[in-house]
Amino acid sequence: MNLQSVKQRYGIVGRSESLDRAIQTALRVASTELTVLIQGESGVGKESISKIIHEYSARKHNPFMAINTGSLPQGTINSELFGHEKGAFTGASTERKGYFETVDTGTIFLDEIGEMPLDTQAYLLRILENSEFIKVGSSKIIKTNVRVIAATNVNLEERVQQGKFREDLYYRLNTVPIKMPALHERREDIHILFRKFANDFAEKYKAESVRLSEDAQKLLNNYRWPGNIRELRNLVEQLSVLSEDKLLDINDLIQIAPKLAKRNLPAKSKSGQNINFEEREILYKFLFEMKNDLNDLKKLVFELVQRNNLEMPSLPASRDFSDYNRSAQAQYVPETYNVNQENDAPYNEYDSKPVLINDDETYNRVEEVEESLSLDEKTKELILKALKKHRGRRKDAAEELGISERTLYRKIKEYDIEI
């Protein structure tokens, strides 16, 4: 099967490796009867992958149905999926066939599977394991031969940990995982998609196609695109209709869509998907702390040098230490020498450790402590400081650290922090 012909058939545009990998996996698994779980943010094209799997399988001439389980009311979802008997509940005036009975021998695509209620999950697990179900209000077992393809835009592992998704169902669905990349993960495709949509809307509205300057292209590439391809398509349609000039620069884009001016910086993940931003945020905090410690160390060294009349290499003119506090009460000098004794040797022959001399010239040995540079320890230390500062309030501590409350909760469990 030619990958390019598959893309053209399903209107998939792009050349990124991650996108090609997802399509190739779908083609390889299509001829099997394995359950597939498609993972990806909203608007990345998960339904297109489900259609590829169905139409390149032995079931291609049988029914295909795409169902958004998140849009089905909890009170009627079991009836919608599995059917009900007459009089099973108020308003059930007739018997009704559910989707799993209607699409027998075909394929059902269950989108937003993470929003499915727990009791419905039990029904679905029985179908996946035994190919059978029971209608609402009935005791008769019905057999069905349906292939299930599921999709989610949330982290199902986190849902399992929170008790909102069955662990056995998760592993049953996740037989073959396919990861659909978000648009910000395939930035080389952004301008290609823009041109494609621009040509489509130019043909639709019988107008000249909009184009972008180089700076405008960079602006689109730097945007996060939380709505992914759907958001980009809507933007191109707005530009095609509202723009008077067909060659657009940065100002034209920002005037119509001011949100594009937002920089693509690490931020808290609202979807719960791990894009590794939370680890980066902790690392940034750790580096800022190290910078402050380094400045304090420079200040201390300069004070010691001045008090002992030592010579230092010439510093750049931009470095001005004259405003440092010179009122320190302690200074480092050799252990066997008086404060006023002149000697070039900084250490005695028996012990090279410096000692601390106070104003009363009482000698106290300084213990050398090697600071731990472990990222885990520093992360734990920062979390403890934030929790202590906000008296155990996780929400306030998470905001202080610049991470989500869910990430903070996970870190607390990971480092076994007692609150």
* The pLDDT of residue 345: 43
* The pLDDT of residue 317: 47
Q: List the domains of the chain with CATH numbers.
A: 3-181 (3.40.50.300), 184-261 (1.10.8.60)
* The pLDDT of residue 370: 54
* The pLDDT of residue 363: 41
Alpha carbon distance 9, 353 (integer Å): 76
Report how many helices (DSSP H) and strands (DSSP E) the chain contains, helices first.
Answer: 16, 14
Alpha carbon distance 173, 298 (integer Å): 57
Residues 40-86: tens digit of each pLDDT: 999 999 999 999 999 999 999 999 999 999 899 888 899 999 999 98
Give the predicted TM-score (pTM) of the model: 0.61
Task: Write a three-state SS string for 329-382.
Answer: CCEEECCCCCCCCCCCCCCCCCCCCCEEECCCCCEEECCCCCCCCCHHHHHHHH
Of residues 327, 153, 332, the one with CA closest to residue 227: 153
Alpha carbon distance 264, 44 (integer Å): 18
The ranges of the chain with pLDDT < 50 are: 265-275, 317-369
Pairing, β 355-357 against β 363-365:
antiparallel
In sequence order, the β-bridge partners of residue 288 are none
Q: Count the Cβ atoms, other than its own, within 10 Å of residue 90.
A: 6
* The pLDDT of residue 322: 46
